[in-house]
Amino acid sequence: MTSADLRARYRRIVTFFGILIAGFIYWELLLPKLGLSRLSDRTRDERNRQAAVRFRKLAISMGGLMIKVGQFLSARLDILPADITDELSGLQDKVPPAEFAAIRDRAEADLGRPLSEAFASFEATPLAAASLGQTHRAVLRASDAAETGFASVVVKVQRPAIEKIVEVDLSALRKVGGWLARYKPVADRADVPALVEEFATTSGEEIDYLAEARNAAHFREAFADDEGVRVPEVAWEHSSLRVLTLEDVTAIRIGDHDAITAAGIDLAAVADKLVETYLQQIFNDGVFHADPHPGNLFVLPLESPGDFRLTFVDFGMVGRLPDGLRSGLRETLIAIGTQDAPRLVKAFGSLGVLLPTADTTLLELASAQVFDRFGGMAMSDLRNISHEDMMNFGLQFRDLMVSMPFQLPENLLLLGRSLAILSGMCTSLNPDFNLWSALTPYATRLITEETGDGFDWQNLVSGGTRVLSSLTALPARANRILTTVERGDLMIKTPMLDLRVRQLNQTLSRMTTAVVFAGLIVAGALLYASEPVLAKVLLAASLVPLLAGIFGGRGHGPR
SS (H, E, C) 64-111: CCHHHHHHHHHCCCCCCCHHHHHHHHCCCCCCCCCCHHHHHHHHHHHH
What pLDDT is stored for residue 522 in this prediction?
A: 56
pLDDT in tens, 328-344: 888 887 787 677 888 88
What pLDDT is stored for residue 363 in this prediction?
A: 81
Low-confidence ranges of the chain (pLDDT < 70): 75-79, 189-190, 337, 357, 373-411, 435-436, 440, 443, 446-559
Calpha distance 260→279 (Å, rounded): 23
What pLDDT is stored for residue 152 in this prediction?
A: 98
Closest listed residue to residue 512, CA positions, set 553, 458, 481, 555: 553
Cα within 13 Å of Cα(543), Cβ side: 4
Q: Is 243 helix (H, G, I), strand (E, B) or coil?
A: strand
What pLDDT is stored for residue 470 in this prediction?
A: 43
Closest listed residue to residue 245, CA positions, set 123, 155, 149, 115: 155
Calpha distance 380→369 (Å, rounded): 20
| Helical ranges in 360-464 per DSSP H | 360-374, 379-383, 387-396, 398-403, 410-429, 435-451, 458-459
Q: How far from the centroid of its chain's Cα atoms is residue 490's Cα?
A: 42
Residue pair 54/66 in contact (Cβ under 8 Å)? The answer is no
What pLDDT is stored for residue 420 in this prediction?
A: 75
Tell whether the torsion through CA atoms of 223, 225, 227 and 233 is positive or negative.
positive
DSSP 237: G
Calpha distance 359→336 (Å, rounded): 20
Instruction: Please count the helices (runs of H) and the strands (runs of E) in the chain.
Output: 27, 11
Tell whether the torsion through CA atoms of 277, 279, 285 and 286 is positive or negative.
positive
What pLDDT is stored for residue 73 in this prediction?
A: 78
What pLDDT is stored for residue 469 in this prediction?
A: 42
Residue pair 136/127 in contact (Cβ under 8 Å)? The answer is yes
What pLDDT is stored for residue 338 in this prediction?
A: 74
Strands 133-140 and 229-230: unpaired
Calpha distance 414→343 (Å, rounded): 24
Amino acid letter, 418:
S
Q: Which helix (H) or strand (E) holds 484?
A: helix 465-487
Record the pTM.
Answer: 0.70
What pLDDT is stored for residue 465 in this prediction?
A: 42
What pLDDT is stored for residue 81 in this prediction?
A: 76
> Which residues 6+ apart lie within 8 Å of 75 measured at CB?
85, 413, 414, 416, 417, 420
Number of neighbouring beta carbons within 10 Å of residue 97: 17
